[in-house]
Amino acid sequence: MADRIIKGKVVKLGDYVNTDVISPSRWMREGLDVLRLHTMEAIRKDFYRDVNPGDILVGGRNFGCGSHREPATAIMEVLGVSAIVADSVARLYFRNCIAFGIPVFAVDGISRLVEEGEEMEIVLHADRVTFTNKTKGGELSALPIPETMARVLEAGGVYKLLKQRLAEGY
């Protein structure tokens, strides 16, 4: 299979961006269209204006820590984020991204490799994943996505995989 390539402009956030910040509970229940206007507002006003479809979201330590709330992941789909890469990613946020079919990577040092507005290229090779700063150079690499997770990602998320499974008569 050909290497999958994800290329996009970097939108960058800091350390410990928790899910109360990504998806504030006072807006969460109003639906994703409303939530979109308020995501990250506690740390960055009008964040949605800074994100364009295809952008790659880069975070620092423990991205997505806190509550398991899925709107904090769903909102990335709404914003059109093509991948999330952070120095480290909280366990539940990581699982939810995979479940939604959003490529997610915990790569220590990524926040030093790229800055806001720079172009990054992510290449999913068979034996590794590489992260390249296309604007000013520099590269990091990580282990490939484990097979269990890759299957979910390739299907486009758990619901799509579930649909396939149910259609097969399970």
Q: How many residues does the chain have?
A: 170
CA pair distance 2, 64, nearest whole angstrom: 31
Q: Which stretch binds another protein (CB under 8 A): 5-13, 35-43, 76-84, 121-129?
A: 35-43
Helix (H, G, I), strand (E, B) or coil at 151: helix
CA pair distance 112, 137, nearest whole angstrom: 12
Binding another protein (rule: CB under 8 A), the pick from 12, 39, 58, 67 is 67
Q: Nearest approach, Cβ of 167 to another protein (angstroms)? A: 9
| Strand 56-59 with 129-133, pairing | unpaired
Confirm or reject binding of residue 39 to another protein (CB under 8 A).
no
> How many residues line the site for another protein (CB under 8 A)?
41
Strand order through the sheet with 104-106: 104-106, 83-86, 56-59, 4-12, 119-124, 129-133, 139-142
Confirm or reject binding of residue 109 to another protein (CB under 8 A).
no
Confirm or reject binding of residue 68 to another protein (CB under 8 A).
yes
Confirm or reject binding of residue 143 to another protein (CB under 8 A).
no
Q: Which stretch binds another protein (CB under 8 A): 3-11, 94-102, 112-120, 136-144?
A: 94-102
Binding another protein (rule: CB under 8 A), the pick from 5, 34, 43, 143 is 43
Binding another protein (rule: CB under 8 A), the pick from 3, 5, 25, 52 is 25
Confirm or reject binding of residue 133 to another protein (CB under 8 A).
no
Nearest to 136 by CA among 124, 120, 156: 120
Confirm or reject binding of residue 111 to another protein (CB under 8 A).
no
Structure tokens belonging to residue 149: 């997770």
